[in-house]
Homo-oligomer: A and B are copies of this chain.
């Protein structure tokens, strides 16, 4: 593995869209006792179902801590590759590399990671094991890696159409816990140089009460060039209402890098989901402080799906809108099977299906 200090875009590399063809997908076996209730058993079962589903269409690589390797190996199908790798938590989207390609070769970008806000408003301390994962993964996958550790970025805070357009949120990328010394223009320049994009669409805020400082991947996602889904509610009493309205206005007023206006598909949110007392009782505290409190609203959204080669893995919450979400996605992804995954035990950790996955794009001709 070579460690590169040049700019991917200047080397002719770009970040592909998630809906482009994948070589595989990376996940991290959950373990953190203050993130996942009851020793992560329920979360592991949810990960197991998700991983088994994804493995129908692409290779899956699962990173497990030394202590959890046997659990992962025993619970996952033989076709899934389990490797030992230490981590602080299990959010592959945010700690695995962002992969870029020039059409012939794949390289990884190793961003700085500070647990969604570092000492300002990060979610745990320390985060050194997470921060080392991107480079370790590139080493493991025999891919050269771009050293961008001086720039704090999580994969969940960006979405691209693979054709020069990037979606992100001001709430996250301009947050004081990320890159406070950089102006909005400097951050834009960094995104252009690293991801090979020309046009950046800035939404203001992410999902209400999303503890990642409003990652875009929970509120809005590309489903095809010129097409996005947007998390939506018609309930004017929900604080989410104004946020979604604001996003819609921005999206309707934007065009992509190719000059196309965006078609916005509304993806209705489930009714608010809150943490139960029973769930809180199964969680370790962090430095004596509870990580969840009963009645706390979780950032549930159907937008946090994962697009695999032949299918779309969609979160399900036991809500009447579960079926609506599946229908909307079926229209957005006509060539793919829409797979419902009960993800309530993932949601409790603070994210969802998209947050725990990271695709590795494919190069060369389709087999």
Interface residues of A (CB under 8 A from B): 1-3, 66, 69-70, 73, 78, 81-86, 129, 132, 135-136, 139-140, 142
Contacts and interface: CB of A to CB of B under 8 A. Distances in A.
A57 B83 CA distance: 26
Contacts of A86: 66, 84
Contact of A81 (B70, B132, B140): B140
Contacts of A142: 81
Nearest to A65: B66
Among A1, A83, A84, A136: residue with most chain B CB under 10 A = A84
A66 B85 CA distance: 8
Contacts of A69: 132, 136
Contacts of A85: 84
Contacts of A81: 1, 139-140, 142
Nearest to A141: B81
Contact of A3 (B78, B132, B135): B78
Contacts of A1: 78, 81
A239 to B, nearest CB: 42
A3 B86 CA distance: 24
Nearest to A78: B2
Contacts of A82: 139
A16 to B, nearest CB: 24
A132 B84 CA distance: 11
A139 B66 contact: no
A132 B67 CA distance: 12
Contacts of A66: 66, 86, 129
